[in-house]
């Protein structure tokens, strides 16, 4: 009984310290936790993307592999017209393999802001050329509640030497699970370009993450892009050699 009382006292004393540690996290530390939660050291996923326009809708499915923020490989699995097309990122270089015409195209920095597969996600968003951890200066600017979750409101200002698309980002990260539940993206002139929300939090592999993301562009009424994570495995063993131009042509 004495041992149980001692344990309870330790737990009670530790709780305020744990809360204090969470409150004392820097903006960058919060962003690192949120980024690691969604990415791990590596990951393999299957994803459905629905592109919604005022007069039509289109669905694209793909598989994606990522590692160490340096490498990513994406394989389109549907629709049939684009099936087999792949996208590769190695460090700061990116390529697109188009099997229908047997052509390998290098994606220049000037195309980072263009919509990926006709969606409201940019090439930069999908291929993750820029890093929200490395390429921005982070500042906590408040606290807000998003869908019942208490969140840190953090502003990210792009560093002068960074090559990303966004001048600044405001993101809301839940205090309990460190999940990015909302982000607003601004261009270099400070104009709002799009808003992303995340919901349908589920246990995926070894962690809880949002599995339903919705992007709404600011200046295009009736436009939106929905991304659904169907499956994902974190911290998988992927060799660096997997992310090669040769593998772009044979991965399935």
Per residue in 188-217, pLDDT (tens digit) is: 999 999 999 999 999 999 999 999 999 999
Per residue in 157-166, pLDDT (tens digit) is: 999 887 778 8
The domain made up of 3-248 is a member of CATH 1.20.1330.10 = no
Q: How many CB atoms lie within 10 A of CB 228?
A: 16
In the chain, what are the domain boundaries? 3-248
Task: Name the least confident of 19-33, 82-96, 175-189, 219-233.
Answer: 19-33
pLDDT of residue 205: 96
Task: Name the least confident of 16-20, 159-163, 171-175, 178-182.
Answer: 16-20
pTM for the whole structure: 0.86
Buried/exposed code over 13-31 (b: 16+ C-beta within 10 A; e: otherwise):
eeeeeeeeeeeebebbebb
Percent of the chain topping pLDDT 70: 89
Burial (CB < 10 A; 0-12, 13-18, 19+), residue 100, is exposed
């Amino acid at each position: 009984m004495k041992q149980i009382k001692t344990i309870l006292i330790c737990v009670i004393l530790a709780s305020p310290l744990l809360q204090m540690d969470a409150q004392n996290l820097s903006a960058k530390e919060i962003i690192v936790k949120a980024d690691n939660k969604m990415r791990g050291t590596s990951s393999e996923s299957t994803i459905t993307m629905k592109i919604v326009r005022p007069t039509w809708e289109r669905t694209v499915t793909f598989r994606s592999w990522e590692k160490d923020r340096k490498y990513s490989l994406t394989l389109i699995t549907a629709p049939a017209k684009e099936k087999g097309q792949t996208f590769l990122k190695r460090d700061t270089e990116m390529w697109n393999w188009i099997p229908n015409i047997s052509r390998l195209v290098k994606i220049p920095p000037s195309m980072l802001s263009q919509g990926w597969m006709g969606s409201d996600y940019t090439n930069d968003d999908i291929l993750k050329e820029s890093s929200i951890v490395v390429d921005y200066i982070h500042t906590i600017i408040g606290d807000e509640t998003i869908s019942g979750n208490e969140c840190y409101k953090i502003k990210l200002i792009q560093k002068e030497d960074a090559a990303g698309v966004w001048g600044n980002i405001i993101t809301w990260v839940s205090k309990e699970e460190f999940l990015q539940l909302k982000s607003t993206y601004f261009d270099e002139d400070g104009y709002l370009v799009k808003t992303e929300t995340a919901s349908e939090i589920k246990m995926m592999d070894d962690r809880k993450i949002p599995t339903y993301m919705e992007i709404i562009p600011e200046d295009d009424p009736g436009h939106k892009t929905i991304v659904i994570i169907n499956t994902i495995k974190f911290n998988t063993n992927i060799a660096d050699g997997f992310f090669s131009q040769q593998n772009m042509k044979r991965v399935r």
